[in-house]
Amino acid sequence: APAACSSGPGPQRRAALAAAGGLGLGALWSTLMGNRASAEEAGAAATGEPRVSESGYNVTPLPRSEVKELASSLPRLSQDVLLREATERPFSGQTADKSAQHNTKAKGTWISAVSNVPLFSSDAKFESGTGWPSFYAPVDEQHVTLKTDRSIPFMTRTEVLDARSGTHLGHVFDDGPAPTGMRYCLNAAALKFVPEGQELPPQK
């Protein structure tokens, strides 16, 4: 069974890391996982042009001051998770708008509680047994950013952030199901849920 959201690389990835040699576990893990913050983002920032995802969303990073203002109306737990990288208690998560629990099986789209950018679909959601909403892929890889997280001593993890607001969502691990083998382990408090058939709100 998958470990909780403080886990590191799974057995298959650990074997690859050991075989590679030379690089530290954390550094190679981050290299293999990749970082969605690409040269394309840097180029967009340099030219001042908006960065638009393949799905048609503006994922140009918002100013931190605007992010804080947008988050100020959310519940305290959501603010702690989004802005201060807190983690909600397992098996207790509720979306920022109280529209869904962590274990809902309803069809719909999970969006950023700050930017309203669609992040994950119920079609990619699975029961991981960890007590946090888990998905095997985002709706668009350009909607999330991956970042090396060394906040726990002697443990390197890969943090998942909303690309538009830069806010904390959770972490990603390589012990998920097919077809990707990945487990995006997220905090429900960092998200909102839009039921299938309901129009997605405009992004911020």
- List active site positions: 185
Token pair recorded at residue 57: 């969303």
CB within 8 Å of 168: residues ≥ 6 apart: 81, 82, 83, 84, 85, 159, 160, 161, 187, 190
Question: CA-CA distance, 171 to 81, in Å (whole number)?
Answer: 12
Reduced to 3 states (helix: H, G, I; strand: E, B; else coil), residue 154 is coil
Question: CA-CA distance, 142 to 60, in Å (whole number)?
Answer: 10
Residue with tokens 């990619």: 124
Question: CA-CA distance, 95 to 71, in Å (whole number)?
Answer: 13
Cβ-defined contacts of 42-45 (< 8 Å, 24+):
none
* Start-end of H helices in 48-171: 64-71, 76-84
Residues 88 and 5: beta-carbon distance below 8 Å: no
Token pair recorded at residue 120: 């994950």
